[in-house]
Amino acid sequence: MATATITASSAPAAPKVKAPAIPLAQRFLRVTHLLFLVLLGVQFIPDHASVTEAHTSWLIGFAVIVEAFTLAITPLFKKKEGLNLFLDIIGFIYGFLILWTIFTAKTALLPAALFPPFGKILAQTAEDAPKILINIKSSVGIILQGFILALLAAVPLGLILGWNARLGGAATYLSKFFSSIPPIVYIPYGIALLPTFRSVSVFVIFLASFWPVFAGTMSGVLHVDSKILDSAKVLNVSKPTMLLNVILPASLNQIFLGCNQGLSVSFILLTSAEMIGARDGMGYYVKYYSDFGDYTRTIVGLLVIGIVVIGVTFLVNRLQNYLLRWKK
Amino acid sequence: MSAAVALQTVPKIEVKHLTVNYAEKNRMFTALRDVNFTVEEGEFVSVIGASGCGKSTLLSVLEGLYKQADGEITISGKPLDGTGKERGVVFQHYSLFPWMTTRKNIAFGIAQVRKDLTKKQRLELADTFLEKVGLGEFGNKYPSQLSGGMQQRAAIARALAMDTEILLMDEPFSAIDAKNRIVLQELLLKLWEGDGKEPRKSVVFVTHDIDEAILLSDKIVVLTAHPGTVAEIIPVPFARPRDRKTLVQTPEYAEFRSHLLHLFYNDIAERIGGEEVVL
Ligand SMILES: Nc1ncnc2c1ncn2[C@@H]1O[C@H](COP(=O)(O)OP(=O)(O)O)[C@@H](O)[C@H]1O
Ligand SMILES: [Mg+2]
């Protein structure tokens, strides 16, 4: 065919709009930093009897580290919205710590046994760090194993059944039925079926994640734009190429919806199961110490679980944004 | 008739007695009735007609996507059966896969017809075709990052890179603004006419733009609606290579254009309260 070359001069790319630089004052003169100073100031109020100097130092140390981190990371933000969000979150944390300090260490308005000063929670976290890490490893390990197994089974099956119009119709109804069963009721059956707590947990998490991921994949496949399918058909793609290079990416958004749902159910299930029958895991940690009335450790457990779940969700979101970077 | 003679005279595409009935709720809707035309080897054929007259239906039959048509269609003498590697397609929208960069899109198209090339060779070939359509710098952009005109350039680059004998295009420039549409028409004309060293592709090009049809085609098939039938098949008498600016200034062009317009208006006048028609 031809060798002619025509430049795209008539269709130039839209010039990149650069976000205006954020002025220094807007970066650093913020209420968040004022709250940090207030938090430090509050520490000078005399402590209530049951609080030790060490607890106060822990809190101050923690606040200083958070503030140093905040200041260090502030110059890295390019967009104003991102910076505002970040500083607001930090601000909320400071505000929460100020109130917590006043109501616990300074006035003991809250019952001391149930609401330890935050410094004590930090000290306890540090002391229990090795134990906590083992528990996190156990919990996250089980979730990952069950979840990844579910993913490996549900995505290919969803792609194939969804692509096959006739089987897909039947499978949609079946998956609706199975996903409507609260997965926690599989636990007794799992216990009868499998030897160890770990294998039962993996089994239950597999079932809990399988159905949402399967349903998400199927619905993704069924909703692929027919224009995209036509475009692939006229290229004469083979069946495997159609499934892997066309249907899979086109369904990815819905698959991730299923994954997120599966993951959050998995965390709920696993921590519940750990509270009932485990000797490891974060659920076990919380339950064990609350049975002894050790509410400092109970709160440590709650916070750690929150952080772990947020961390996992964050990583999954990053992966999702990366794999769907082609979307507007 | 001997086989050798038959081969020589066989058209690239032959459409005989093509009729398409769509099943609506409880009646049949005839979108195309007894459509006949041929596309010779290396011929550029435009199909024009008001919107709703069955142009896309005709093309989806030729693409092999619509299979319930009546009639006889042959490609190089062989009965048409589904989609085929000898046909490349450019749609009005969504020819490209949104999750692939432009060069990956083109390389993916190449991969479907050239299993002999390595991945690297396919990407290199993709780059040369991106250059040809003026998208050399945009290979690593996703379709959503490109304007509509640039997406169509990339779709054309993919169809050309696949080097199919036949190109099927369904209003590829209809969604592009007037100024860019002209640029794209000239680009397509230049790429298709080539330098005379390589054989030209056989093209079926759907449009509702009369000037576009005249500029590009060797032959124009005019469809009228309800049901879609061929009103007239008109050879375009202008020599190649064509240049828009000089062509549109000739009196012959004005005369030819007004003849086509007449065909259009007659059709529309017969349809009271007709649909929106773009000429
Ligand atoms: N899948 C379909 N089912 C029923 N009717 C259809 C279908 N596709 C197109 N039509 C009808 O057939 C006629 C021709 O449509 P189309 O080929 O898209 O026309 P054009 O491309 O010329 O605008 C229109 O009246 C349209 O409503
Ligand atoms: Mg159309």
The pLDDT, as a whole number, for residue A132 is 93
Q: Which residues contact A43 (CB under 8 A, 6 or more apart)?
A: A56, A59, A60, A101
Q: Specify the DSSP class assigned to residue B198.
A: S
A111 phi and psi angles, rounded to 5 deg: -60, 125
Q: Is residue A14 part of a domain?
A: no
Judge if A46 and A132 occupy the same domain. Answer: no
Q: Which value does ipTM take for this structure?
A: 0.87
The average pLDDT across B239-267 equals 87
Determine how many CB atoms are found less than 10 A away from the CB of residue B108: 22
Judge if A310 and A171 occupy the same domain. Answer: yes
B118 phi and psi angles, rounded to 5 deg: -80, 165
Q: Is residue A119 part of a domain?
A: no
Q: What is the pTM of this model?
A: 0.84
Taking the C-alpha atoms of residue B137 and residue A159, their distance in angstroms, rounded to an integer, is 35
Determine how many CB atoms are found less than 10 A away from the CB of residue A161: 22
Give the containing element (helix H, strand E) for A287.
Answer: helix A282-291
* Least confident piece of the model among A19-28, A90-99, B98-107: A19-28
Tokens of B67: 């299979």
> What spacing in Å lies between the alpha carbon of B264 and ligand 2's midpoint?
17
The average pLDDT across A225-236 equals 93
- Residues 197-236, chain B, touching A (beta carbon < 8 A): 198, 200-201
Atom 12 of ligand 1 has which residue's CA nearest to it? B31
Q: Which residues in chain B touch residue A230, judged by CB atoms under 8 angstroms apart?
A: 60, 63, 65, 91
The average pLDDT across B181-209 equals 90
- Residue A33's domain comprises 21-106
Judge if A201 and A318 occupy the same domain. Answer: yes
Which ligand 1 atom lies nearest to the CA of residue B59?
A: 17
Task: Write out pLDDT tens, residues A257-295.
Answer: 999 999 999 999 899 888 887 788 899 999 999 999 999
- Residues 33-62, chain B, touching A (beta carbon < 8 A): 60
The pLDDT, as a whole number, for residue A8 is 45
Tokens of A198: 């770990």
* Least confident piece of the model among A39-43, A44-48, A158-162, B198-202: A44-48
* DSSP result, B62-122: HHT-----EEEEEETTEEP-S--TTEEEE-SS--S-TTS-HHHHHHHHHHHH-TTS-HHHH
- Give residue A26's Cα distance to chain centre: 30
The pLDDT, as a whole number, for residue B268 is 59
Q: Is residue A112 part of a domain?
A: no
Q: A18 pLDDT band (50/70/90 cuts)? A: low
The pLDDT, as a whole number, for residue A305 is 94
Name the nearest CA neighbour of A294 among A156, A144, A121, A78: A121
A224 close to B (CB below 8 A): no
Q: Which residues contact B230 (CB under 8 A, 6 or more apart)?
A: B35, B36, B37, B221, B222, B223
Judge if A55 and A155 occupy the same domain. Answer: no
Q: Which residues contact B138 (CB under 8 A, 6 or more apart)?
A: A8, A13, B102, B130, B146, B150, B154
Which of B93, B150, B191 faces A2 most closely, judged by CB atoms?
B191
Judge if A222 and A266 occupy the same domain. Answer: yes
- CATH number at A179 reads 1.10.3720.10
Judge if A200 and A271 occupy the same domain. Answer: yes
Please give the single-letter amino acid code of residue B276: E
Residue B158: pLDDT over 90 = yes
Q: Which residues contact B70 (CB under 8 A, 6 or more apart)?
A: B17, B18, B19, B20, B21
Q: Where are the alpha helices (DSSP H) in chain B?
A: 3-9, 55-63, 102-113, 119-132, 148-161, 178-193, 210-216, 244-249, 251-270
Q: Is residue A227 part of a domain?
A: yes
- Give residue B174's Cα distance to chain centre: 12
A3 close to B (CB below 8 A): yes
The DSSP bridge partners found for residue B73 are B15
End-of-domain residue from the set A106, A141, A157? A106
Taking the C-alpha atoms of residue B62 and residue A174, their distance in angstroms, rounded to an integer, is 39
Atom 2 of ligand 1 has which residue's CA nearest to it? B22
Judge if A56 and A129 occupy the same domain. Answer: no
End-of-domain residue from the set A37, A71, A106? A106
Which of B87, B150, B191 faces A1 most closely, judged by CB atoms?
B191
The average pLDDT across A179-184 equals 84
Residue B197: pLDDT over 50 = yes
Distance from the Cα of B254 to chain A's closest Cα (Å) equals: 27
Determine how many CB atoms are found less than 10 A away from the CB of residue B49: 25
Task: Write out pLDDT tens, residues B223-241.
Answer: 988 888 998 999 999 988 8
Residue B269: pLDDT over 80 = no
Judge if A158 and A247 occupy the same domain. Answer: yes
> What spacing in Å lies between the alpha carbon of A226 and ligand 2's midpoint?
15
Judge if A177 and A286 occupy the same domain. Answer: yes
The average pLDDT across B185-205 equals 90
Q: Is residue B85 within 8 Å of A236, Cβ to Cβ? A: yes
Please give the single-letter amino acid code of residue A26: Q
Q: Is residue B80 within 8 Å of B107, Cβ to Cβ? A: no
Determine how many CB atoms are found less than 10 A away from the CB of residue A120: 24
| Residue the block writes with tokens 């006949």 | B36
Q: Is residue A298 part of a domain?
A: yes
Task: Write out pLDDT tens, residues A124-181.
Answer: 999 999 999 999 999 999 999 999 999 999 999 999 988 887 777 788 888 888 888 8
Q: Is residue B18 within 8 Å of B58, Cβ to Cβ? A: yes
End-of-domain residue from the set A77, A106, A135? A106
Task: Write out pLDDT tens, residues B57-95.
Answer: 999 999 999 998 999 999 998 999 999 899 999 999 888
The pLDDT, as a whole number, for residue B1 is 44
The pLDDT, as a whole number, for residue A7 is 46
Q: How far apart are the first and last CA of chain A?
A: 35
Which ligand 1 atom lies nearest to the CA of residue B170?
A: 21
Q: Is residue A9 part of a domain?
A: no
The average pLDDT across B144-169 equals 93
Name the nearest CA neighbour of A147 among A201, A218, A77, A194: A201
Q: Is residue A1 part of a domain?
A: no
Distance from the Cα of A246 to chain B's closest Cα (Å) equals: 8
Q: Is residue A306 part of a domain?
A: yes
A4: nearest CA partner in chain B: B191
Q: Specify the DSSP class assigned to residue A76.
A: G
- Residues 237-266, chain A, touching B (beta carbon < 8 A): 237, 241, 245-246, 249-250, 252
Judge if A35 and A147 occupy the same domain. Answer: no
Distance from the Cα of A218 to chain B's closest Cα (Å) equals: 19
Q: B270 pLDDT band (50/70/90 cuts)? A: low
Residue B271: pLDDT over 80 = no
The average pLDDT across B248-254 equals 92
Judge if A78 and A142 occupy the same domain. Answer: no
- Residues touching ligand 1 (Cβ under 6 Å) are B 22, 24, 29, 31, 49, 51-57
Judge if A177 and A261 occupy the same domain. Answer: yes
Q: Is residue B167 within 8 Å of B204, Cβ to Cβ? A: yes
Task: Write out pLDDT tens, residues A293-327.
Answer: 999 999 999 999 999 999 999 999 999 999 999 98
Domain count within chain A: 2
